[in-house]
Amino acid sequence: MSEPLPALPPVRAPVGATPTVRRRLALQRSRPLLIRAYALLLGEAGLAGPIARRRAARFAVRSLPALVTVAVGALVALRGFESAAGWGQVAAMAVLAVALGALVWRRVARAAAGEQAGYREQLELGSLFVVAAYAVAQSASFGHAESAFQPVVYLVMAFLVAFLAPGVGAGLVALAVTLEALLWAGRGARVVDLPEAVVHAGFVTVFAVLYYAVLAGQVAASRRDERLAIERRMKEIDHLARAFRLSVAAPDDAQDPAERERRWSEGAVIEIEAAVGGALEVAVAALRCHTCALFWLSEDEKTLTLLDCRSPSEAVGREPLPAGEGPLGGAVRRRSPVRLHGEVKAVSYYADGTRPKALLAAPLVDPRGGHVRGVVLVDRMEPTPFSEAEEKLLVTLAAEILRAVGAERLMKDVRQTRAEVDRFYRSIERLNRTRKLSEVYDALVGVASEMVTVDFAAVALRDEVDPSKVRVVRVAGGEGERTGAAGLDDLEFAMGDGCLVSSAIKIDDVLPVNALDPAKTRVFGSVCLRGLASLKIFPLKVGERSIGALVLGAKRAGAYGRDAVQQLLVISMHAAQSIDRARLFDQTERLATTDGLTGLTNHRTFQERLDAHLGQAQRYGKRTSLLLCDIDHFKSVNDTYGHPVGDQVLRGVARTLARAARGTDVVARYGGEEFAIVMPETDTGGAMVIAERIREKVGQLVFETEQGPLKVTLSLGVATFPDDGTQKPALIERADACLYHAKRHGRNQSVSAASLRAPRRAAV
């Protein structure tokens, strides 16, 4: 058998010779150019495309009023309307009328939709009116210099100034003056015609200014009268709210408590006025009286003031009347109705001395306490006495009026109670959200200030280590020297010294029980408080133990009522729990960030602080130095004296480092007997000064042991950012190298990276 033929590779499709391909590509290159040209000119976003055409159409429509104004104004300046009316003048006036009509129709439609006219729309409309007025005046001149219709220009200008914005009015006056100047120039700019042009321009300006001034004066007077009327009404509502005892503090969550209170009082007064008016209308219809009036008794029960009245007489006075005189005074004193007939004398509520023939007065007696709130009065001018049934009806109406007032008072009480409860729970929530001690102190003082009047506040706590001592941790208010509060911050006193604060903490109760003079009583240790008329001290209790006290003072006597004291006592208990929780949080935070043996910053926190300080130094172009130190021969200390003595040495050296370092430095235990200090904004020279001071202080330490006194020394290495390293690992490595250089060359010395570089530079 013959062997099978080998498989042939697949045949490629012919693509043509190179010249053929080039000819095809040449034919195809022109098509993209045509497409791009078409897209540039007639495409969707082309120069003459649909979008451009729509924009051009909108621009033409928006520019039409300005074009008409310019065209007609030019005709006016060229005196085109002075000649006999021809097709040109008629066409110009027709275009002007169409443009004016279109703008007026658009403004009416927008006004119906509640849309205000903008400056551009006002200017377009006003300009068309101005050139139209000039065109009409010029058409009626019949070739003469002065037109009989020239006053039309002044009236139109006054009308426009009255209804358009002041800036638009000024622009229209400028347009009119410009047209007058162009008209004068069109007549040859002759000097003889100048006075006429100046007079016309002056009249236009004077009409506009005077009309605007008169209109502005009228508007200002109207606004002033309206404001005064509103103020009078608001004063009346405020007076009635106090008379009806409807005033109440607005809730703390109100965006504007004063505005919320004003609106609520206004609504309550309006409701009461409506109820009173309805009751008086019923009395007039049912009792067939001449006058029916409600008089309200003042809080001091000395005067009666007319609140509402139904009477055909204009002589009913609104001045306050003495509460102890006449029939009204008799109803107030007796707390029962007064019925009179015949020639009633001593009627003081008529200013002209009118004497009714019959009178009936019923007091408004509050069922809660039997206090008289006012008097409802009816009278007749006919000698027809009021019957007993009519008296019962008036008493019933008086009770209805009092019930309406009582309902609004009840709403006020409910609202006030709700506001107090909401404020109370928000205060507790605010305390529960605190995490740090400073936040708890601020929240406690702030919450107390929201609940009661606080002119002085302080928080005092028992020392955690030594509970026999009390320290003032927060003071607010007090005006320093004037109250004796100066120097109270961090004041420490003993629990058993007998002052009010220590006594309140000791007995776990609110002090003082009775009012006393804080200026004559020791409040904090030996410190008294001056200028305060009220003082309360609330113990801060956690379970059965008191951890401190909240001290509140006010300049007003009786500032802390029973209900407020009870609420503040509960708040103090929650605050004590928040303080205890914050202390635990601080303790946990300290354990997480500090070394348990030395109390210094631990290694992890040291690394984080070093990163932060290096980043800050890099951002602001500052220097930061790193100091690493090691206790010399510390292993032999442990081997010779034992680990307890070694721990004592570590704690002593740590205390020395912390005291010798600055407040901005970070002192940390790096590991074992090694310590580290981060010194921000410190160059090598400054760091070496601090290093030497630390070395000398440690060298002066003496530790008492069973084998005798013990002294230790330190070796220190210093490196500075960015001179000795721009990255943290390099900086730590350089400081560590300096430390070990100090140890290898005798110990008890400070070595900087700069000092190690100096010999190499000299060698080079």
Q: Just list the catalytic residues.
A: 673
Q: Is the peptide bond before 512 cis (omega within 30 degrees of 0)?
A: yes
Percentages (nearest 5) of helix, strand, coil residues in the chain: 55, 15, 30
Per-residue b or e along 677-710, where b marks 16 or more CB atoms closer than 10 Å to that residue's CB: bbbbebbbebbbebbeebbebbeebebebeeeeb
The Cα–Cα gap between 683 and 722 comes to 10
Q: What is the 3-state secondary structure (H, E, C) of 563-612?
A: HHHHHHHHHHHHHHHHHHHHHHHHHHHHHHHECCCCCCECHHHHHHHHHH
Helices 388-432 and 562-593 cross at an angle (nearest 10°) of: 10
Q: What is the CA radius of gyration of the chain?
A: 48
| Max Cα–Cα distance, the chain, nearest Å | 159
> Residues 631, 653: contact at Cβ < 8 Å?
yes
Region label for 750, one of left (φ > 0), alpha (ψ between -120 and 50) or beta (otherwise): beta
CA distances from 149 to 135, 141, 192 (A): 10, 8, 22
User: Which residue in the block uniquely carries the two structure tokens 């495409």?
Assistant: 43
Region label for 672, one of left (φ > 0), alpha (ψ between -120 and 50) or beta (otherwise): left
In DSSP terms, which residues pair with 601 in a beta bridge? 594, 668
The Cα–Cα gap between 216 and 224 comes to 12
The Cα–Cα gap between 715 and 682 comes to 20
The Cα–Cα gap between 578 and 257 comes to 29
Which residues neighbour 213 within 8 Å (Cβ) at sequence distance 6 or greater?
none
User: Which residue in the block uniquely carries the two structure tokens 């045509």?
Assistant: 34
Which residues neighbour 486 within 8 Å (Cβ) at sequence distance 6 or greater?
478, 480
Residues in the chain: 764
In DSSP terms, which residues pair with 226 in a beta bridge? none
